[in-house]
Amino acid sequence: MIKAIILFCSLTLPAIVFAGNDSGSNRTIPAEVKSFVERGTRLLAWERADLNGDNKDDYIIVLEKEKKQPSDPDMESGQRPLLIVTRNSNGRLEVVKRNDKIVYCSQCGGMMGDPFVGVTVGRKTFTVEHYGGSAWRWSNSFTFNYSRIDNTWQLVEVKEESFHAGDPEGGESRRYTPPRDFGKIDIANFDPDTWKKRRKSK
């Protein structure tokens, strides 16, 4: 699905800006979200949902670290922290999980530019999506669900696609799920570059 949507956009709307990349600027940002924008960062994306099943609104917040000087080298690692912010019993928001690796850097998409498509959220679940490449395109998505037993969000699905721009229907698609492909992976420990090394041996 992501391949079809993005291919259509790239062919018909070359100037499109994906919602996930500027969701923080196209909508009115709640004041309670602004308080989590750390010094030296800007708000890249935010989404609201009941992330832990307690019938209270929580947030996924993605920040982007800013260069101190325009001439500073691009940040390839840790540029875009993802925060899971939930509401406690008193109604106060607090950061309960953080991952500095899951959202790719702004220069990590190859010729396609910024690879961050966005974050989609639902009750007790969220998905981070990327898309990039040049003639050969690639996309991936990482889905996490909330575990009441472990009181955290764990990886439940990874999707990967690759195809040539001239033959979008001739590509490859892979889907990985636990426990067949990997064990428990906490959002705080997830690394998109190494999760496959934790896959279970067949």
3-state SS assignment for residue 24: helix
Report, as an integer, the average pLDDT of 135-143. 95
The pLDDT of residue 198 is: 67
pLDDT digits (tens, 9 = 90+) for 96-128: 999 999 999 998 888 888 999 999 999 999 999
Rounded percentage of the chain residues whose pLDDT exceeds 90:
69
Is residue 33 pLDDT above 70, yes or no?
yes
Q: Name the pLDDT band for 7 (thresholds 50, 70, 90).
A: very low
For the entire predicted model, the pTM comes to: 0.84
Is residue 5 pLDDT above 80, yes or no?
no
Cα distance from N-terminal residue to C-terminal residue, the chain: 29
Is residue 191 pLDDT above 60, yes or no?
yes
The pLDDT of residue 202 is: 44
Is residue 35 pLDDT above 80, yes or no?
yes
Return the residue matching tokens 């981070």.
Answer: 128
Q: Identify the H or E element spanning 26.
A: helix 19-26
Cis peptide before 179 (omega within 30 of 0): yes
